Structure 1
Amino acid sequence: MSDFFTDFWSYYIAAIALVGIVWCVWLLFSQRKVTKVVGAPEDTGHVWDGDLRELNNPLPRWWMWMFLLACIFGLGYLVLYPGLGSYAGVLKTSSRVELEAHRQAAEQLQREVYGKYMQMDVKQVAAEPAAREIGQRLFLNYCAQCHGSDARGSRGFPNLTDNDWLYGGDPETITQTITKGRNGVMPSFASTIDGKLAGDVAQYVRSLSGLSSDPIRASRGESTFKSTCAACHGSTGKGNQALGAPNLSDRVWLYGSSEANIVDAILKGHNNHMPAHEEILTPERIRMLTAYVWGLSNIGGAGEGGKQ
């Protein structure tokens, strides 16, 4: 009930609950006149199957008592437990308190399991089979939705099994990424670059990574690239990990390497958001995830993958 912004809503909910119970009790006693019938019960006039008639029989007394006891039980419950707006109840029971207690107990159990790994270097943790199994479970729960269960990513989501990193692949940087998240922005240049010139720039970008390109169009796009794009991607297109600007001189593409895809990025831009997990995961879990992600491209010779 802490989501109420003013006391009005607390009183409003409490009033609805109490008025509802009082109305039920009033309705019960207002119908006492039908609990006793002198003579034959009233015929409602409804007939089915030729001779099956509906009668207005009185309410059974046992049913009335059960109804009344249910109302009394409801009132008693609202006195003891939360239910009347922000009123906490006589017993001060709180699902949030219970949840927090369970969470702390679970975290304590996790510390006991993860304790020895917190004293080890991340690279040593990554080499431990048991630790990698824990890291994989965490990855499947918290990361696979975007990066895939095999960590090879998809369009717009980086492949974590290769050696191509937007912000750096050392353990410290991976920890920072998981903890604080990332927000990589490729601005739109539609206001300064028209579609034809964007196509020429795309041809030049393709030439940087050895893809087939039109040399004449690429030469026209080179000057625009160096005056507009080099500020982030560098004059040679090798990117800048401090900014999260991709390397455009390799064969790894986050949104595709076709001219149409590159033109789309130039004119419309991209806004990639990696959410922060510091409010979701404990430091112990973040360390296990860091070790697992680092190990994906450093243990087992995963090599360069293909973010297409």
Structure 2
Amino acid sequence: MMTPGWSWYVIALVVINIVGCGWLLWWTAKRRPGDPKPEDTSHYWDDGDITEYNKPLPKWWINLFWITIVFSIGYLLYFPGLGAFAGVGGWTSSGQHAIQKAADNARLDETFAPYRGKSIDVLAQDPAARRLGRAIFNNTCATCHGSSAQGAVGYPNLTDDIWHWGGRPEQILATVMKGREGVMPEWGKVLTGLGGEHAVSDVVAYVRALPDPARLMQNNYGAARGKPLFEAVCASCHGVDGKGKQDLGAPDLTDDYWLYGSDSASLYATIAKGRHGSMPAHEQLLGETRARLVAAYVWSLSNSQATAAGAQ
């Protein structure tokens, strides 16, 4: 919001510039007694056939300058431009944006109308729907998940069959529309209090051994010490067997997919310091139909066989 002082300052600058332009135009166009005639000159070039005269601008050209000044005054009265003065036309950039947005939304609604309310697996079998879903994905989701949807550290790979919150069509749609909050609490101090200074490392050793339980008791003393700590602290979310719980977003620790890395240092940081992953809700941004299209595209990435079979 512009203060009155700044408003009057801007108005004064505008008025001074307009008046100055008018005065300069009038002053330079005026002929005075003693001025040389238009054909008089004292400027000659060396070859003698190029002469500079003192002829004024054509009248129509001068008039165009005056018309420009009058137009600028009318423009500043109709549109906001004089400080805090809103203009008699009532135009605002936000209002213009709202009008343009409404027109664009109407065109989008017409484009997406054939796909409204259709289930994700049905949309995934429609090549046109997948193309639209991919375009929406590239504009909205690729920033985090990448244009190939294979993710990065902290951002899930959407092309495999591993889903922390569930990979069924309705679960993917819920993720897109409502968002997800994946929180891994800090357990460093708790584990140290329960198992001593090496407790976090012991839990790391146990977690790293989960994919191959037969190795747990084969001279893996760290894993053996970490097992009861895991069952006491971690099993409530990840399960006693480490298979995870999709309703909580707790990942399966027995597969070979690790969102933040599987090396000992990454696991130690995850357990000791915690993690917080946020998937924003896109319902308000995209609307239901566009959310369905992008969810269908994402579902098709890990269900290519079902998509191809349904399209036949």
TM-score (norm 2): 0.75
Cα distance in 2, alignment partners of residues 156 and 259 from structure 1: 16
Q: 1:22 aligns with which of 4, 7, 15?
A: 15
**1:134, 1:288 within 8 Å by CA — same for their partners in 2?**
yes
Match of 2:175 in 1: 177
1:276-295 equivalences under 5 Å are 276-295=281-300
**2:124, 2:130 within 8 Å by CA — same for their partners in 1?**
yes
Match of 1:57 in 2: none
Matched, 1:253 2:258: yes
Distance 1:133 1:27, change over 3 A: closer
1:215-230 equivalences under 5 Å are 215-230=220-235
Question: Which stretch has the larger CA shift, 23-32 or 187-196?
Answer: 23-32
Q: 2:128 aligns with which of 106, 130, 133?
A: 130
**1:24, 1:71 within 8 Å by CA — same for their partners in 2?**
no
Distance 1:29 1:131, change over 3 A: closer
Cα distance in 2, alignment partners of residues 122 and 29 from structure 1: 66
* Residue deviations 1:152-198 (CA, integer Å, cap 9, x gap): 11111101111211111222222222222222111222322346221
Residue identity in the other structure for 1:249: T
Distance 1:278 1:14, change over 3 A: farther
Match of 1:192 in 2: 190
Q: 1:81 aligns with which of 68, 79, 82?
A: 79
**1:233, 1:245 within 8 Å by CA — same for their partners in 2?**
yes
1:99-114 equivalences under 5 Å are 99-114=97-112
Cα distance in 1, alignment partners of residues 84 and 171 from structure 2: 44
* Residue deviations 1:86-133 (CA, integer Å, cap 9, x gap): 543211223322322222222222222222222432211101111111
Q: 2:160 aligns with which of 159, 162, 165?
A: 162
Identical aligned residues as a percent: 39
Cα distance in 2, alignment partners of residues 138 and 198 from structure 1: 42
Q: 1:209 aligns with which of 203, 208, 211?
A: 211
Residue identity in the other structure for 1:258: D
Structure 2: which 5+ runs fail to align? Answer: 36-55, 308-312
Matched, 1:142 2:160: no
- Aligned partner of residue 272 in structure 2, secondary structure: helix
Match of 2:113 in 1: 115
Match of 2:241 in 1: 236
Q: CA deviation at 1:28?
A: 7.0
Question: Which stretch has the larger CA shift, 80-89 or 147-156?
Answer: 80-89
Question: Which stretch has the larger CA shift, 180-189 or 71-80?
Answer: 71-80
Question: Which stretch has the larger CA shift, 203-212 or 266-275?
Answer: 203-212
TM-score (norm 1): 0.76
* Residue deviations 1:208-236 (CA, integer Å, cap 9, x gap): 12397762110111111111112221222
Cα distance in 1, alignment partners of residues 129 and 265 from structure 2: 43
Cα distance in 2, alignment partners of residues 94 and 27 from structure 1: 28
Distance 1:64 1:155, change over 3 A: same
- Aligned partner of residue 161 in structure 1, secondary structure: coil
Distance 1:20 1:86, change over 3 A: closer
Residue identity in the other structure for 1:188: E
- Aligned partner of residue 262 in structure 2, secondary structure: coil
Cα distance in 1, alignment partners of residues 144 and 183 from structure 2: 18
- Aligned partner of residue 112 in structure 1, secondary structure: helix
- Which structure 1 residue ranges, 4+ long, deviate > 6 Å from structure 2? 26-32, 34-40, 60-71, 211-214
Distance 1:269 1:84, change over 3 A: farther
Match of 1:264 in 2: 269
- Aligned partner of residue 286 in structure 2, secondary structure: coil
Distance 1:66 1:113, change over 3 A: closer
**1:147, 1:154 within 8 Å by CA — same for their partners in 2?**
yes
Cα distance in 1, alignment partners of residues 281 and 83 from structure 2: 33
Cα distance in 2, alignment partners of residues 174 and 283 from structure 1: 13
Question: Which stretch has the larger CA shift, 209-218 or 73-82?
Answer: 209-218
